[in-house]
Structure 1
């Protein structure tokens, strides 16, 4: 068993704390504006980017910032609000593909200015664009490793 160095452990703790702070700020800003939680935005954004092909639940789980165990309930809430629709998968009769609706696009667009301001407050106010580029580059191998399932 490999034990992480103090520097790696410190980086882990900082990464987790920074994520918690940023997500709490975004959540609070959206709530104060009377908008849905940030998880809605992330799911709707991924579905909007997917376009006419939609996404399966497991594809959404890999992309958004909330816990995988909450994605099915999130999709249920989005569907009840008219923001998404489910259709049978053309590839297999058991699966479903999720698509964003016009209402979902409208909801996401209404959320963006508040979410964007929260991102700026939580991250942009503390990093230059150059430092943000460096940070994104440092985190990319962690994200890519997760996405390939290694």
Structure 2
């Protein structure tokens, strides 16, 4: 187990870096198209097989609370960007599916968002550092998932 002081310092550095980058990305995000939270939901659904995801699983991946996700999904349904269908494997569950219009809008915002990420993250670290950062963050996330399970 790591030294507590070092672990806390690493967490603080990670957290503060994430906040600083997110502030810049949020300021540049194409909010006239969609909010960053809407983008986060569409991003997670777009990565799922067949661009379909159980609402329960979506809640595990986004940064907002479950009631907020449900309201946000309902707004996206109203815009025609996602559809909600009953989960055939769980009568109480709901599947959220990205529509073709929703995917087009997501891709449009994603291209702009990726440019911002490249500018704010890709200019601060070289390719090797980015690969190491990715591996370290993946390990942290996997450790948290293992702990939760």
TM-score between the two structures when normalised by the length of structure 2 = 0.86
Paired residues of 2:51 and 2:98 also in contact (CA < 8 A) = no
State the SS of the aligned residue for 1:95: strand
Partner of 1:140 in structure 2?
138
Paired residues of 1:75 and 1:84 also in contact (CA < 8 A) = yes
**Greater displacement, 100-109 / 67-76:** 67-76
**Greater displacement, 42-51 / 135-144:** 42-51
1:49-108 alpha-carbon deviations (Å, 9 max, x no partner)? 3243711122112233x2234322221222222111100110122211100011111111
State the SS of the aligned residue for 2:92: coil
Structure 1 Cα separation of the partners of residues 51 and 29 of structure 2: 29
Q: Which runs of 5+ in 1 are unaligned?
A: none
Task: Map residues 38-57 of structure 1 onto 2, 5 A cutoff.
Answer: 38-52=36-50, 54-57=52-55
**Greater displacement, 93-102 / 75-84:** 75-84
Q: Which runs of 5+ in 2 are unaligned?
A: none
Structure 2 Cα separation of the partners of residues 3 and 134 of structure 1: 19
Q: 1:67 aligned to 2:27? A: no
1:31-64 alpha-carbon deviations (Å, 9 max, x no partner)? 4x62312222232122223243711122112233
Paired residues of 2:82 and 2:96 also in contact (CA < 8 A) = yes
Paired residues of 1:21 and 1:122 also in contact (CA < 8 A) = no
Partner of 2:109 in structure 1?
111
Structure 2 Cα separation of the partners of residues 67 and 24 of structure 1: 16
Give, in angstroms, the shift of residue 127 of structure 1. Answer: 0.5
State the SS of the aligned residue for 2:8: helix
Give, in angstroms, the shift of residue 128 of structure 1. Answer: 0.4
Give, in angstroms, the shift of residue 3 of structure 1. Answer: 10
State the SS of the aligned residue for 1:143: helix
Count of paired positions: 147
Paired residues of 2:53 and 2:96 also in contact (CA < 8 A) = yes
